[in-house]
Structure 1
Amino acid sequence: MTSLIEAPPGSVDGPAPSTKKRSGGGLGRYILIRFFLIFPTIFILVTMVFFLMRITGDPITAALGGRLPPEQLAERITSAGYDRPIFVQYFEYLGQLATGNFGTTLSDNRQVTEVLTTYGAATLELSINALLVALAVGIPLGMIAAHRRDKAPDAVLRIFAILCYATPVFFAGLLLKLTFSVWLGWFPVAGRASTNTELALTGLQSPSGIYWLDALRSGNISALGDVISHAVLPAAALGLLTAGIFLRLVRTNVIGTLGRDYVEAGRSRGISEFRLVTKHAYKPALIPIITVMGLQIAVMLGGAVLTETTFEWKGLGFQLATYLTARDFVAVQGIVVLLAVIVALTNFIVDIIAALIDPRVRY
């Protein structure tokens, strides 16, 4: 009895095996919970989009009202089922989504799934390019700001971060176009590629739709250069929005890490401040960036609408603006639902990566 009570916590029959089991179960449970949270998130977003789209009435009246005689308009409304109770339409819409049917556009009579697959690659390409710009600008400048804390470079970079985040994407795009396309003539004004490049890349066997990837696969160096020159300004306009956030996150976390005991010990051994920042302090500063990256994907997808419209980048954002102008709410619903699914899945992946890097996230 006494031996059981006084058994040390680290004994052979003690909690050591159960601790290992708890640690693995913590990660598994965390992933499972995050995975099941995807479904209510998507359900809520789909529900909100559906009812918001119905506030102004049925989609056919919104898109074609005033352009068709009342008899034809009523006939189309009845044939499409938009005269039925709203909740009947809602549950039917959920059933269609479950089978991958996003409906048919009203303005150009296309399957919404066709629109998504045709233009989705362009938006993905723009988002990847913008994320690369954000990481390439935000992380190094954040480290420089932390290294030169409370000095002139730090003050300038903090103002730069605020301007990046506060400047509207379309305004930044117009400034970049005016400066580097109109005045200096360094980059093209609009588009994803020149006409000859687009014909060459779209004519490839099984093209991915991501132009720089298709150019690499085909080994077409001139096409790759043309694609990159068209992508620089749109990626910069959208990427700088997130770069300001990354800059401030890296600066704050590197400054916090520089005050840790192991950094102070390295400083006492004569290690230079630059080496402490670049070798020891920047790695912990990357964890918050990974954590917020999922949220920034949502910001980028939202900013893609304005960026693609500004630079005539034919992606989902450009199409969404076109369908909004045409009041084609069926197409708008499909595109917004797809973007919501992408954001939910991206946040799930980011949560897993953050949990693998930092075990404290799991609890």
Structure 2
Amino acid sequence: MAAVPSEVVEPTGPPEGDGGTKAKKSGIGLGKYIVIRALLIIPTVFILVTTVFVLMRLTGDPVSASVGGRLPPEQLAERIRAAGYDRPIIIQYLDYLGGILRGDFGTTISDNIPVTQLLTRYGTATLELVLYALVVALLLGIPLGMLAAYRRDRGTDAVLRVLAILGYATPVFFAGLLLKLVFSVWLDWLPVSGRVTSSNQLVLQGVSAPTHIYIVDALRLGNFGIVGDVLTHAVLPAISLGLLVGGVFLRLVRTNMIGTLGQDYIESGRSRGVSERRLVTKHAYRPALVPIITVMGMQIALMLGGAILTETTFGWQGLGFKLAEYLQARDFVAVQGIVVMLAVIVAVTNFIVDVVAALIDPRVRY
């Protein structure tokens, strides 16, 4: 009697003979796909920049909107002329486009800071928060999605699906307030707000050529006390924002793993005596991860939107926090620059995700 193989044996490469031709065709298709996706960034960003510019100008000139009620008419008119807002709108628009191409997003009206400097300093804080939240979402969504698929139509699956819906449907600021109430106020385990304690922040500001990504700067110092402080402050904001996307990942992994578990090679493995746990953890989960890669760009855009509320809730000094401040100050130059930068980040992120997805799954290119 023949021995029963202990696991599924899958083909690892293309058939001999025409494999080189197929690989060559795939390479050409991938190159064209990358070029097309890269070129699509240009009209996307152009439309976004134009839309934001027009919407901001519908309120009037930025100087009047920000300080119109606090300056005498003569000084207000002088500031409008100095900023060039008395010129025709088309000239202002062309100058703004030219400034963006040079990396100049203007200067804030309320505190006279170059918007580029604002984006560099506070954008890294938002990037740090989004990366923390993405790690939380992946750590929750992937294993729990696998568990839900493995326990399909049982109590565990039902509970996890409900939790996934709640995680996505709960407003980010409300989840943040609940987390603060439980873990900061009642249990006193974690900080209420901020990115780091004030004393450690002064230390981090003394780092030569700081990245303003506190975890990176703390590691560069080699001070693991500050590293722990940074991570402790990041726990609640990361969970609050990560739950928003973690539920999406959970449902995606569950749905795709259920489909994968019905494939012929999985059934073949079952017939050969391979354990269900091994089929799930070794053979079925990798194809189920492809959809997560393809939608990750959209989820990062969702995170950037949620970061505005999360940063405001936790006093996290990032672009979302500053955007709320400048909206209250009606500083539309700063608002315009921040919104445009967020739009560019989303467009570039989608491009990177699309390329990664095309590398993993050639079907994406067609």
User: What do residues 60-111 of structure 1 show as CA deviations (whole Å, max 9, x unaligned)?
Assistant: 1110121112222122212222122212211111011111110000000111
Cα distance, 1:17 vs. partner? Answer: 6.8
Whole-Å separation in 1 of the counterparts to 2:21 and 2:141? 42
State the distance in 2 between where 1:71 and 1:312 align: 38
Letter in 2 for 1:170: F
1:118 aligns with 2:121: yes
Deviation larger for 264-273 or 34-43: 264-273
Task: Measure how far apart 1:207 and its partner are.
Answer: 2.0
Q: Does 1:263 align with 2:249?
A: no
Q: Output the amino acid matched with 2:365.
A: R
1:165 corresponds, among 149, 165, 168, to 168
Greater CA deviation, 96-105 or 272-281?
272-281
Question: Any residues of structure 2 matched to 1:240-319 within 5 Å, and which?
Answer: 240-319=243-322
1-side partners of 2:232 and 2:26: how far apart?
49
- The reply on whether 1:139 has 2:145 as its aligned counterpart is no
Q: 1:20 to 1:128 in 2, by over 3 A?
A: closer
Distance of 2:232 and 2:263 partners within structure 1: 44
Tell me how far apart the structure 2 counterparts of residues 111 and 62 of structure 1 sit (CA, whole Å). Answer: 18
Q: How far does residue 142 in structure 1 lie from its aligned partner after superposition?
A: 0.4
Structure 1 residue 34 corresponds to structure 2 residue 73? no
Corresponding residue of 2:191: 188
Q: CA deviation at 1:19?
A: 4.6
CA distance in 1, matches of 2:250, 2:148: 8
Shift of 1:234: 0.3
Q: Which amino acid aligns with 1:255?
A: I
- Name segments (4+ residues, structure 1) moved above 6 Å: none
Residues of 2 paired with 1:150 and 1:267: CA distance?
Answer: 20
Equivalent residue, structure 2, for 1:3: none
- The 5-angstrom pairing of residues 1-363 of structure 1 reads 19-363=22-366
Q: Secondary structure at the match of 2:252?
A: helix
SS of aligned partner of 1:250: helix
Of 212-221 and 163-172, deviating more is: 212-221
Q: Structure 1 regions of 5+ residues with no counterpart?
A: 1-9
Q: Which residue of 1 aligns with 2:9?
A: none
* Paired residue total: 351
Range moving further from structure 2, 316-325 or 78-87: 78-87
Q: Distance in 2 between matches of 1:281 and 1:236?
A: 28
- Report how far residue 55 of structure 1 moved: 1.2
1:108 aligned counterpart, secondary structure: coil
| Cα distance in 2 for residues equivalent to 1:210 and 1:126 | 9
Tell me by how many angstroms 1:268 deviates: 1.3
Secondary structure at the counterpart of residue 181 of structure 1? helix
Change over 3 Å in CA distance of 1:16–1:158 after alignment to 2: closer
Aligned to 2:4: none
Aligned equivalents of 1:123, 1:252: Cα separation in 2? 31
d(CA) in 2 for partners of 1:222, 1:358: 43
Superposed displacement of residue 25, structure 1: 1.0
Distance (whole Å) between structure 1 residues aligned to residue 49 and residue 273 of structure 2: 58
How has the CA–CA distance of structure 1 residues 277 and 341 changed in structure 2, closer, same or farther, with 3 Å as cutoff?
same
CA distance in structure 2 between the aligned counterparts of 1:85 and 1:39, rounded to whole angstroms: 25
RMSD: 1.5
Give the drift of 1:126.
0.3
Instruction: For 2:352, give the aligned amino acid.
Output: I
Q: Name the amino acid aligned to 1:313.
A: W
Q: Percent identity?
A: 70
Name the counterpart of 1:6. Answer: none
**Deviation of residue 49 (structure 1)?**
0.5
**Deviation string, structure 1 residues 291-318 (Cα, Å, up to 9, x no partner):** 1111111111111111000000011111
